[in-house]
Amino acid sequence: MNLKDKVVIITGAGSGIGAAAAKLLGERNATVVVSDINLSNAEKVAAEIIKNGGIASAIKTDVTKFEEVEALIAQTVSKYDRVDVIVNNAGIGGKHQLKTAEHTHDDWHNVIAVNQTGVFYCMQAALKQMMKQGHGTIVNVASLAGLKASGNNLSYSASKFAVVGMTKSAALEYGSKNIRINAVCPGYTHSALLDQLLTVRPDMGDLLKRLIPMKRFGEANEIAEGICFLASDNSKFMTGQTLTLDGGTSL
């Protein structure tokens, strides 16, 4: 994949899918800005990329605060002159698995703030820079829960449907500006979010695997491959699309 010399920001890159994508992009010669609300985790990922011969730096960012998102873009441009790609991966799940009538307001506000508003803030700030430089690529990390119903998970589902909608709307707006915007939609993947679910419902693991035609959960590096494809010039005629990586679950 053609990623050499691309300057790529990844939010939520201190762990899970974000960390896997950051490391894979580093292996493929991109310059990686590892962004996370947990700076220590971000620094560890950046250090590993550098140790393996790549170029990386870490920046602490809370994507729910627009001023911090603006600072992330500004610091990246100051250090590397441009932002070729931003991968909007930062996301959380709710603390409770409850039906809509019992869904907590705290879960709603917290999940929407990170997963939906955070992606909007990152897209908006990145688009302003990409318009100035005349090119750019945005990869949003949505979810299978943004394509089909997901019970006991209203705020997460709502936020991921929103990410898919924002991806398509913005792609329509900026397709003529040499800016591509796509999304990956992972299914059940080994991650902190899945671990959280299985901690609450240990029996859920076997149940979920029965719903997956491939009979296993995805791995973070498998989702990272999809992110790299959308970030690269290999997908240069692709915009406004969702790449579903779910082991066939949506079937």
Q: Scanning the structure block, which residue is given the tokens 């971000």?
A: 42
Token reading at 224: 């990272």
For 20, 73, 88, 211, the CA distances from 13, given in Å and listed in that order, are 8, 15, 9, 29
Q: Scanning the structure block, which residue is given the tokens 């955070």?
A: 118
Parallel/antiparallel/unpaired status of strands 31-36 and 55-60 = parallel
Helix locations, the chain, DSSP H:
16-27, 39-51, 66-80, 105-111, 118-133, 154-174, 192-200, 204-211, 220-231
Parallel/antiparallel/unpaired status of strands 7-10 and 85-88 = parallel
Known active-site residue 80: no
Catalytic residue among 80, 121, 156, 174: 156
Q: Which residue in 194, 190, 174, 193 sits closest to 182, CA to CA?
A: 174
Q: Is 33 left (phi over 0), alpha (psi -120 to 50) or beta?
A: beta
CA dist., res. 1 & res. 3, Å (int): 6
Residues noted as catalytic: 156
